[in-house]
Amino acid sequence: MENASDKPEGRRAQKRRETHQRIVDTGLSLFLRHGYEATTIDMIAKAAGISRRSFFSYFGSKEDVLLARVGSGFPEALRLAMAEQSSQMTPLETARQCFIKLASRYETDESAAVDRLLQSTVALRARKNALFLEIEQTLADGMHALWPEQECRTELRLAAMAAVGALRLALEDRRNDDDGQPLEYYLDRNFALLAELS
Amino acid sequence: MENASDKPEGRRAQKRRETHQRIVDTGLSLFLRHGYEATTIDMIAKAAGISRRSFFSYFGSKEDVLLARVGSGFPEALRLAMAEQSSQMTPLETARQCFIKLASRYETDESAAVDRLLQSTVALRARKNALFLEIEQTLADGMHALWPEQECRTELRLAAMAAVGALRLALEDRRNDDDGQPLEYYLDRNFALLAELS
DNA sequence: CGATATAATTGCACTCAGTGCATATTTATT
DNA sequence: AATAAATATGCACTGAGTGCAATTATATCG
């Protein structure tokens, strides 16, 4: 019956955090070296210095290891970014600015490599798409907090959907164009096109 | 080196088609009775009167059985519906009309049941979302055929994305509202809101 | 029709993901 | 130091999915 918020983190929590991190690191490294499917959970567990059985007390599936970073990271970062926005601008403009602010964190080589891995399987592609839906939900929640006067959430939900779509297509276009325009370029273009949807 | 388009379908093709159908039918019935996860491939194979090994010469996975109907059906139907549209209306209006035309086919009890099953697993939810992406791609292709003058596909891609989003939210809202408004109601509202995205 | 090529079905053995359970070890509490 | 709680591990199991080789059914051709 004690609040966990002020405990200085004993050895238990520390080791658990370290092991969790070690699994993600070694797992990612193995995925990159041998591909996703060719990497077995036994390999990850052995490389992380734990038993196969213990692996499953940290992650529910192999996919979760690959999605550990971006999967929970981006939605949470977006939640925070939205929380410190004002309601001065339009919902779409607010979303655009948040995206630009966050995009830089995910322009690393590792993110690009993970993204390539996320194309290698039907299930992984599906999981990646699910991530966009989670982002959409997070964005809609953030918008609802900024503009609570909206009697019906549908408008904001649609705006969030459109914004995430613009983000998704921006990422897609940038990959296909293969000349290194910054993400902001595609983002601006797509949001402008959104505004004049006939 | 012969064209298969005019062969009258021998016993081989017929039996194969029948078995395929039987797997879908019995599989769906078992999913509905026992749930998706509790239904094993052995059960489906036995109920369909084939060996476990033969199952995999018809379907690559258990998911594919559940997605057999809607998974390939809707995108293909949309492709056909788009093919017989003119370029008189706007892209969004064209999409809306196609959706309304197709929606009725998927308002059966079976569709609703399948849809409920598609919520029962992380992987299935992800697959359902992937379906919307496939629909989006199909819609964008259809639009591109109707308005080929667009030098850049991005505009139509965004329109397709917005249209599918409106469809997705319409389906969602209708489920949550639980008073039986026809899908057309939500569809019209969402497309109207899309037009005035500020 | 009969011979032969081709496709479909099946059984078997295998790998791997994921789970339940019981036991041992580590860490926290008093 | 004693005890409680969390964690780690081993073992055995189910179920998905694949490779391979043998068997059976169907199509094709002379």
How far is A31 from A197, CA to CA, in rounded Å?
41
Spatial CA neighbour of B161 closest among A191, A180, A156, A75 = A191
Which residues in A lie closer than 8 A to residue B154 (C-beta atoms)? Answer: 169, 173, 189-190, 193
Burial class (CB in 10 A: 0-12, 13-18, 19+), B67: buried
Asked if B174 has any chain A CB less than 8 Å from its own CB, the reply is: no
Predicted structure pTM score: 0.89
For residue A3, the model assigns a pLDDT of 42
A122, A123, A130 ranked by CB distance to B129: nearest: A130
| Domain A6-67, CATH | 1.10.10.60
Per-residue pLDDT of chain A (198 residues; tens, 9 = 90+): 334 445 567 889 999 999 999 999 999 999 999 999 999 999 999 999 999 999 999 999 999 999 998 888 899 999 999 999 999 999 999 999 999 999 988 888 888 899 999 999 999 999 999 999 999 999 999 999 999 987 778 999 999 999 999 999 999 999 888 777 899 999 999 999 998 876
Burial class (CB in 10 A: 0-12, 13-18, 19+), B125: middle
How far is A191 from A183, CA to CA, in rounded Å?
12
Q: Is B125 close to A125, i.e. CB distance below 8 A?
A: no
The structure tokens 């093919």 sit at B83
* B74, B135 contact by CB (below 8 A): yes
CA atom of A45 to C1′ atom of D1, Å: 36
For residue A198, the model assigns a pLDDT of 67
Give span(s): CATH 1.10.10.60, chain B.
6-67
For residue B11, the model assigns a pLDDT of 86
What residue of B is the nearest CA neighbor of A159? B197
pLDDT tens digits, B69-119: 888 889 999 999 999 999 999 999 999 999 999 998 888 888 899 999 999
pLDDT-derived band at B8, boundaries 50, 70, 90: low
Percent of chain B with pLDDT over 70: 95
Long-range contacts of B119-127 (CB under 8 A, 24+ apart): B120/B35, B120/B36, B120/B37, B121/B36, B121/B37, B122/A130, B123/A123, B123/A126, B123/B63, B124/B36, B124/B63, B124/B66, B125/A130, B126/A123, B126/A126, B126/A127, B126/A129, B126/A130, B127/A126, B127/B63, B127/B67
Give span(s): CATH 1.10.357.10, chain A.
70-197
Q: Which fold has domain B70-197?
A: Tetracycline Repressor; domain 2 (1.10.357)
Q: Which amino acid residue lies closest to nucleotide C11, measuring CA to C1'?
A: B53
Asked if A105 has any chain B CB less than 8 Å from its own CB, the reply is: no
Q: Quick one: average pLDDT of B137-151?
A: 92
Q: Which amino acid residue lies closest to nucleotide C18, measuring CA to C1'?
A: A61
Which residues surround strand D, with CB < 7 Å?
A 12-13, 15-16, 19, 50-54, 57-58; B 10-13, 15, 39-42, 53, 56, 60-63
Average pLDDT, chain B: 92
